[in-house]
């Protein structure tokens, strides 16, 4: 489908979803964002739904300003995926051991590594700039510097919620490794600190929503936030790189006879800010639950833990600020899913997937998400499909 423009907004709101199906609270969030004087335009993805701070599945283009609550607290959250030389014929009948080995190598939930992971000891992981990256931690907000020890140990860990590690097959039978995570607790701490700072600023006192507080260009507060934001986005990228290297080590050991090889890793943020130029105007583009889909750029769009995911190539549609959806998108809250579904429902909807099927992950049941095929159909002018994946092992945070 092509986009629909939402009427009555101060700036263009282009929507790659049926407006009639979008929650009224999400539509109100979008209209609230459009009232900000720094807004150039909004693009709304087909996985759109209500979110804290700003609508999930929205791309917010601003001139000389950025809204930290719109970025969210999981700065740099995103995906990584890699195709392997393994095929379905290499797999054992029982995948429970593989799942256990993944969980041993990559801490999940609130767990972290006992000692920081040394990237120089991981096979094939580039380490250029590693010391410089940690050196720049000296410049982050004083309020969170005491978190450095924890940040070091959480590097290379999954986290909780909808974060996952998956072992997948594509439609040709090739094995892919895929994972979803972000900047862990340090990103959350930095986000919450700066959201609080933005709310104190005088120019933010009369907004329609206090979550829309912004930092303005050429101010000390903006400079401080930009430093911490881009550092946290880099932390998230490194976090996924280390987890993928740990994942690959597990696969090498478990499939030693097959001597697995790995293609280059595809990686993309879907909660972040980028400096981009459109029609000669320099903008700060916030993607909250959206990936960059510039012409020829690879991206990853996951479904739920029982459906499937897509490797895509961007079509470079500037009307969407070169963006596409970040996944299927929730169609109900976690609390509603827990009330509506049982462990038996979860087991039925994840049949054939080696994964947790207990009460603790019922909120991640596939029925709590929009149909991924519908989401993909609504963005045919944003991305083209490179591969469709189906998970056979899923490790949930």
Residue whose C-alpha is closest to residue 297's, from 310, 312, 278, 308? 312
CA distance 157 to 397: 9
Instruction: Confirm if 337 and 363 have CB atoms less than 8 A apart.
Output: yes
CA distance 17 to 96: 39
Residues 6+ apart with CB under 8 A from 115: 153
CA distance 77 to 307: 21
Instruction: Confirm if 222 and 66 have CB atoms less than 8 A apart.
Output: yes
Q: Compute the Cα dihedral for 116, 121, 122, 127 and give only its sign.
A: positive
Catalytic site positions: 326
Residues 347-381 as b/e (b if ≥16 CB within 10 A, e otherwise) read eebbeebbbbbeeebbbbbbbbbbbbeebbebbee
**What DSSP designation does 264 have?**
P
Tokens representing 43 are: 């693009």
Torsion angle of C-alpha atoms 188, 189, 195, 199, degrees rounded to 10: 150
CA distance 92 to 255: 10
**Phi (first) and psi of residue 262, to 5 degrees:** -130, 135
CA-only gyration radius of the chain, Å: 21
CA distance 80 to 237: 9
């Amino acid at each position: 489908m092509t986009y629909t423009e939402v009427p009555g907004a101060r700036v263009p709101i282009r929507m790659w979803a049926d407006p009639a199906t979008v929650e009224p609270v999400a539509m109100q969030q979008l209209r609230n964002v459009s009232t900000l004087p720094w807004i150039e335009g909004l693009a709304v993805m087909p996985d759109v739904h209500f979110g804290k701070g700003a609508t999930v599945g929205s791309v917010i283009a601003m001139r000389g300003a950025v809204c930290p609550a719109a970025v969210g607290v999981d700065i740099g959250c995103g995906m990584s995926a890699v195709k392997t030389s393994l095929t379905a014929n290499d797999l054992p009948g029982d995948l429970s051991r593989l799942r256990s080995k993944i969980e041993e190598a990559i801490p999940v939930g609130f767990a972290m590594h006992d000692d920081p992971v040394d990237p120089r000891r991981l096979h094939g992981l580039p380490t250029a700039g590693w010391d410089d990256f940690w050196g720049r931690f000296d410049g982050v907000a004083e309020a969170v510097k005491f978190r450095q020890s924890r940040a070091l140990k959480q590097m290379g860990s999954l986290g909780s919620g909808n974060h996952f590690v998956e072992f997948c097959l594509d439609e040709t039978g090739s094995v892919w490794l895929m994972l979803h995570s972000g900047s862990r607790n340090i990103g959350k701490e930095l986000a919450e600190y700066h959201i609080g700072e933005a709310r104190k600023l005088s120019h933010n006192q009369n907004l329609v929503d206090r979550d829309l507080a912004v930092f303005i260009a050429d101010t000390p507060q903006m400079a401080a936030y930009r430093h911490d934001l881009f550092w946290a986005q880099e932390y998230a990228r490194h976090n996924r790189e280390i987890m993928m290297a740990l994942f690959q080590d597990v696969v090498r050991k478990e499939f030693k006879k097959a001597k697995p090889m790995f293609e280059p890793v595809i990686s993309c943020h879907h909660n972040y800010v980028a400096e981009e130029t459109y029609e000669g105007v320099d903008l700060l583009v916030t993607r909250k639950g959206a990936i960059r889909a510039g012409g020829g750029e690879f991206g990853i769009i996951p479904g739920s833990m029982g459906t499937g995911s897509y490797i895509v190539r961007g079509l470079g549609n500037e009307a969407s600020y070169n963006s596409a959806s970040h996944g299927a998108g929730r169609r109900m809250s976690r609390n509603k899913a827990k009330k509506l579904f049982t462990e038996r429902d979860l087991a039925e909807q994840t049949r054939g997937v080696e994964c947790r099927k207990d009460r603790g992950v019922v909120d991640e049941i596939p029925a709590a998400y929009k149909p991924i095929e519908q989401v993909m159909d609504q963005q045919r002018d944003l991305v083209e499909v490179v591969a469709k994946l189906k998970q056979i092992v899923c490790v949930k945070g």
